[in-house]
Amino acid sequence: MRDMVEHMEGINRLMARYGVKFGIYKNREFHEQLFPFDPLPRVIGRDEFLYLEKGLAQRVDALNCFLADVYGEKKIVKDGVIPEDFIFSSKGYLPQCEGMVPPKQVYSHISGIDLVQAKDGDWYILEDNLRIPSGASYPMIARELTRQASPRTFMKNHVADNRNYAGMLKEVMNHVNTGGINVVLTPGRYNAAFFEHSYLAERSGAILAMPQDLYVENNRLYYRQYQGKQLQVGTVYRRISDEYLDPLCFEPGSLIGVPGIMDVYRSGNVALVNAPGNGVADDKGIYYFVPQMVKYYLGEEAILKNAPTYLAFYEQDRKYILEHLGRLVVKDVSEAGGYGVVFGRDLEKEKLEELKRTIIGDARRFIAQEVIDFIDLDIVEGDGSVPRKADLRAFVLCGKETKIWPSGLTRFSRNPDSFVVNSSQGGGFKDTWVLSQ
């Protein structure tokens, strides 16, 4: 795989031309930057992937059961497995979705599960992303370009083809479709992931729609073609977050929403991918309870482990957190994208005391985790390579069955001292190879 290195520059140049970019909002300004690609792939062996596959499918199945339960019977609360505070006071819980049953009862059609591999080889789940996880398009296009640049590499190595992601996506959209076309709804050109929206639409054969292209009439959703013809829409893979989706239901000032779309959805006349309201299940506080969900809904032990996590809400955990704060990483449950994450070891004594007071004052808001010493992957730098922290976002697709995409987005931190790999924090990415033999 070293033969890829000589193609690095050419591939990055091609990606820039195709518009493989990542947008970042900082200080209220929009900046678009290239998402740097490193040619050395992460390689996952066949057996290891089979193990991950089982664990990920189990986890996402349990999360789907949880979502159906939260917006339905709420048995897990009544049975005292999860305190209601963590569900009904979560920002991600949307009472507007109470009693809604999505087409084919799928809530999280596309889940992005972030994992890291510790130095002893064990995998740990860092975070579940069940709203609109992005990133699949990057390894897709990277693979396509590297195959073109270096076809010999893929003759020598038996790498599972990852170019079927669009096909998997299409299968999911078709499975839940209520009658009509599939569209990918993008807020537009200035969204951080616009490249991905247009790429996935093109590859999956769906229509890329802007908010003004869709409208509701008589409790059905339509796409307005430029000739003025109207087409009924059966599935919307919407890349607009819940709160902006429908100004008649959520944020009234939203200009990127489609008024009335939630009523159409509630009536079963359109499928929304992913279901609105999923944020209640990928909250950092709820994360703590996922292994218990697996047991509760599936009657199985969780295959994949969580990072050891403490919930400040529980007195015993809080005591532990306050005593060991210096070596823990503290996360604000209401933040995402690498924001609101503080490593105790980086704090001066004064700041540490301040953090303690904040935690005591608003315990529900914080979790703390042991810092996992996860493995470094080599990235190319100059003529040689240097080790950097990297995680893996695995994509799990739920249609008729729960399937794991045999690839994933490997993100790395370019800063040698950082454990935070989020692309919004300026990291880069690698392709992820799953070996087929």
Partner 1 sequence: MKRLRFRYEMHLKLDQAVWDHHFLIRCRPMESARQQKEHLSVKIEPADFIWEVKDGFGNEGYAGSAKRPHNSLLAVSEGVVRVDITKTSEPLHPMYRFSSAYTMPGEGIRRFLGEACLEQGREGGFWGRNVGEKELMYMMDRLYGRFVYSPGATTVETTAEEALALGRGVCQDYAHIFISLCRLAGIPARYVAGLMLGEGVSHAWVEAWTDGGWLGMDPTNNRLAGDGYIKLTHGRDFRDGSIDRGRFMGFSGQSQEIFVKVEEII
32 vs 263 by CB, closer to partner 1: 263
Verify binding: residue 88, partner 1, rule CB under 8 A: yes
Output phi, psi for 334, to 5 deg: -90, 0
The answer to the question of residue 252 lying near partner 1 (CB under 8 A) is: yes
What's the chain's Rg over C-alpha atoms? 22
Closer of 218 and 437 to partner 1 (Cβ): 218
Residue 372 φ then ψ, to 5°: -85, 130
Q: Give whichever of 256 and 392 is closer to partner 1, judged by the CB atom.
A: 256
Q: Distance between CA atoms of 248 and 212, rounded to whole angstroms?
A: 15
User: Any idea what the Cα angle at residue 430 is, between residues 117 and 23, rounded to 5°?
Assistant: 110
| Of 10, 205, 259, 340, the one binding partner 1 by CB under 8 A | 259
Question: Rule CB under 8 A: is residue 373 a binding residue for partner 1?
Answer: no
- Helices 165-176 & 194-204, crossing angle to 10 degrees? 80
Cβ–Cβ under 8 Å, residues 326 and 345: yes
Is residue 232 a contact residue for partner 1 (CB under 8 A)? no
For 243, phi then psi, to 5°, come to -65, -20
CB closer to partner 1, 21 vs 131: 131
Task: Give the shortest CB-224-to-partner 1 separation in angstroms.
Answer: 10
Q: Does 33 bind partner 1 (CB under 8 A)?
A: no
Q: Across the chain, which distance is largest between two alpha carbons, in Å?
A: 67
> Is position 30 an interface residue for partner 1 (rule: CB under 8 A)?
no
Site string for partner 1, 266-295 (x = CB under 8 A): xx----------------------------
The residues facing 222 across adjacent strands are 215, 232
Q: Which of 87-92's residues contact partners 24+ apart within 8 Å by CB, and which partners?
A: 87/280, 87/286, 89/364, 90/279, 90/280, 90/283, 90/285, 90/286, 90/333, 91/279, 91/283, 91/334, 92/131, 92/277, 92/278, 92/279, 92/280, 92/281, 92/282, 92/283
Least distance in Å: CB of 97 to partner 1? 6
Distance CA 98, CA 130 (A): 18
Strands (DSSP E) contained in 202-256 are 207-209, 214-217, 220-224, 230-238
Rule CB under 8 A: is residue 74 a binding residue for partner 1?
yes
> Taking CB under 8 A as the criterion, which residues in 34-63 touch partner 1?
none
Contact residue for partner 1 among 6, 73, 84, 161 (CB under 8 A):
84
What CA–CA distance (Å, rounded) separates 19 from 15? 6
Is position 231 an interface residue for partner 1 (rule: CB under 8 A)?
Answer: no
Query: Counting contacts by CB under 8 A, is residue 362 touching partner 1?
Result: no
Q: Which of 130, 249, 311, 342 binds partner 1 (CB under 8 A)?
A: 249
89 makes contact with partner 1 (CB under 8 A)? yes
Task: Draw the binding track, 97-126, toward partner 1 (x: CB under 8 A; -: no contact).
Answer: xxxx--------------------------
Point out which span in 2-10, 92-100, 293-301, 395-403 binds partner 1 (CB under 8 A): 92-100
Does 94 contact partner 1 by CB under 8 A?
A: yes
Q: Which residues bind partner 1 (CB under 8 A)?
A: 74, 77, 84-85, 87-89, 93-100, 215-219, 247-249, 252, 259-260, 263, 266-267
